[in-house]
Structure 1
């Protein structure tokens, strides 16, 4: 004989799955957030490799005045297009076509100043409204190197070592790994995947509590020989199941996308294995249970269906607050972060993405910080359901 809790759970789950809007929301959140993460990272990779794939096209006015500079630009995969003289308006029109990264203009007195060892001006015209700052930076690096080579040659011609201008040589050694550098970025991006735990269970929770009370079907259900904790527990598990399934599928899809993307092009990596991902999915289950418990407890105390929706819509903002504060204050990871629901899940993913061994305590704290409040809320809701005031909405 099936337990009454299981019977109520299956009944509520069956009714929830009949709602096409709920299934549509489940499918949307399951696919939307991983797709957004993949798209944003793919765009970043595409921009970072655009220079190597397409090269840089540069318009130069007066290119014949600096043949050595033109040769150095060609060595850096920068295609130089000799352009006739034009005024400022014509240069602006040329840049708006977005064919050239920038326009270099060497004035008529460039050669004279160069041989007279006076500063020879090179004008760099560009359009800051276009997203080509990195390519323009490559051009300016060549110009700086060109100027440094000229200065070194002139010093040698006067019997002065160029090293005299660099009394200190700074050498940089970066001990950070790709995983450590990408932990903050990827960990923050992955944090959004936990939010649907609160979104997906809201509709089912409101409909099975405030909705049933408005339809007067709750009175029939409470007339059955079942304890209040069995009634509340069945509704709670049915509402939470959507969040559990949705978040688990999101994490799996995001993991597949991050493994597939060439994050090395951005100096990043995704080091989680399938075993660690399954542990993350496991400790995330209580977060969905907590979300369902919050929705059930609040919706039960709302007098109408619309009032319950309004209250829960406001409550959806709360899970974002701790993570936003920590990011704004740039706090380092501490043990107390594993005691705050949702923030603990974000922190866990961020630390795991660094590739180190964090031990079992963060997993345990992440599991318990959501599981214990969820059970307490359901206990409160079960006690609340014993009151006739709740059933009569007075």
Structure 2
């Protein structure tokens, strides 16, 4: 004979599978965040590689005065479009139409100033609201061109160009590609755990506030079953949906990150399937905590609608520690593994760095959410013993 809480679990889980709203939320949030992550990274990679594939389009006014500069720009894969003289309004319209990354205008006295070794002014026009990445490459070419001219003039006067660089700085980056990747996309990865509070929401609210509002809870409580068995069955049914949703979501995100050419933007994703499985196991208590919290809060609501309204605010609370850590730019510390939700975000970020973080972070992440889930379920079982809850007074 099955345990009574398993009977309740099967009943609630079967009803959740029949509920299109529950299944819709499960499918939506399982697919939404990984797909958005993939689209965001794809656009990032596309912008980073587009100048290399298509070149940079530069509109030049008066380029005949600086043939050496034009040749140097062409060597850097910059496509030169000779443009007749334009006013400020016409240049702005050209940039807003995105026909060129920037407009380079050489005034009429550029050649005279250059020949007289006076500062020759060059105007670089761009629109920051529709700015393209190629503008920075153009500035680098202009700076290199100016440096070469200065060095040649110093040599012509018998002065070594090294006199302009009394100190030479050499930079050595000891950060690994995996660590840099985890730091950049760590904030994005943190949102992958938010569906743990969404996938089982509908089932948790419907099995508590919904059943009480429909007066079907009274019939269920009239059966020879204890309150903790009722709560445990409902809790496991809601948590099961969350566990399934967040597990598939993490696997889908892992597949997308492993497939994308992150090396094009100086990143890498070296999380193995074994490590990902450990992260998924450590995330199971987070779903249990989310479902327990939702059932405990929904029991104190007078109606189904009130429960949904309150939970929409309460669900934001677990996200606050992660946002605070991100805004304050705090370094990873042991206490972060003791806070539900934040512990999962920290664990995934540190795992993505590729180093050996040991077993303790996984254990702490698992236990902190498990203890919080137990406390929420214990409160819900105690609350269900009250006649005021059953009668909604």
| TM-score between the two structures when normalised by the length of structure 2 | 0.98
Structure-1 residue corresponding to 2:42: 42
Cα distance in 1 between the residues matched to 2:325 and 2:164: 45
Structure-2 residue corresponding to 1:328: 327
Cα deviation, residue 358, structure 1: 0.3
The alpha-carbon distance between structure 1 residues 146 and 15, as it changes in their structure 2 partners (threshold 3 A), is same
Cα deviation, residue 121, structure 1: 1.0
Cα deviation, residue 127, structure 1: 1.7
Partner deviation per Cα, 1:244-274 (whole Å, 9 max, x = no partner) = 0110011000000000111111111111100
Question: Helix, strand or coil for the counterpart of 1:164?
Answer: helix
Q: 4+ runs of 1 displaced by more than 4 Å?
A: none
Cα distance in 2 between the residues matched to 1:68 and 1:131: 26
Question: Helix, strand or coil for the counterpart of 2:301?
Answer: coil
Q: Which moved more, 1:374-383 or 1:350-359?
A: 374-383
Question: Helix, strand or coil for the counterpart of 2:317?
Answer: coil
Cα distance in 2 between the residues matched to 1:65 and 1:389: 88
Trace 1:158-197 onto structure 2 (pairs within 5 A): 158-197=157-196
Cα distance in 2 between the residues matched to 1:137 and 1:233: 59
Cα distance in 2 between the residues matched to 1:300 and 1:88: 66
Trace 1:308-319 onto structure 2 (pairs within 5 A): 308-319=307-318
Question: Helix, strand or coil for the counterpart of 1:104?
Answer: strand
Cα distance in 1 between the residues matched to 2:117 and 2:39: 51
Q: Which moved more, 1:196-205 or 1:356-365?
A: 196-205
Trace 1:28-39 onto structure 2 (pairs within 5 A): 28-39=28-39
Q: Which runs of 5+ in 2 are unaligned?
A: none
Question: Helix, strand or coil for the counterpart of 2:80?
Answer: strand
Cα distance in 1 between the residues matched to 2:289 and 2:96: 54
Q: Which runs of 5+ in 1 are unaligned?
A: none
Partner deviation per Cα, 1:56-104 (whole Å, 9 max, x = no partner) = 1111111111111111011100111222223323322322321111111
Question: Helix, strand or coil for the counterpart of 2:12?
Answer: helix
Given the alignment of the two structures, is residue 100 of structure 1 paired with residue 97 of structure 2, yes or no?
no
Given the alignment of the two structures, is residue 278 of structure 1 paired with residue 277 of structure 2, yes or no?
yes
Say whether the 8 Å CA contact 2:22–2:200 is kept in structure 1. Answer: no
Question: Helix, strand or coil for the counterpart of 1:98?
Answer: coil
Structure-2 residue corresponding to 1:118: 118
Given the alignment of the two structures, is residue 60 of structure 1 paired with residue 80 of structure 2, yes or no?
no
Question: Helix, strand or coil for the counterpart of 1:79?
Answer: strand
Cα distance in 2 between the residues matched to 1:60 and 1:239: 64
Cα deviation, residue 44, structure 1: 0.7
Structure-2 residue corresponding to 1:21: 21
Question: Helix, strand or coil for the counterpart of 2:281?
Answer: helix
Say whether the 8 Å CA contact 2:21–2:202 is kept in structure 1. Answer: no
| TM-score between the two structures when normalised by the length of structure 1 | 0.97
Cα distance in 2 between the residues matched to 1:377 and 1:129: 49
Structure-1 residue corresponding to 2:135: 136
Q: Which moved more, 1:192-201 or 1:378-387?
A: 378-387
Cα deviation, residue 304, structure 1: 2.0
Cα RMSD (Å) of the superposition? 1.2
Structure-1 residue corresponding to 2:303: 304
Structure-1 residue corresponding to 2:202: 203
Question: Helix, strand or coil for the counterpart of 1:124?
Answer: strand
Cα deviation, residue 352, structure 1: 0.6
The alpha-carbon distance between structure 1 residues 141 and 309, as it changes in their structure 2 partners (threshold 3 A), is same
Cα distance in 2 between the residues matched to 1:358 and 1:63: 57
Q: Which moved more, 1:277-286 or 1:198-207?
A: 198-207
Trace 1:255-266 onto structure 2 (pairs within 5 A): 255-266=254-265
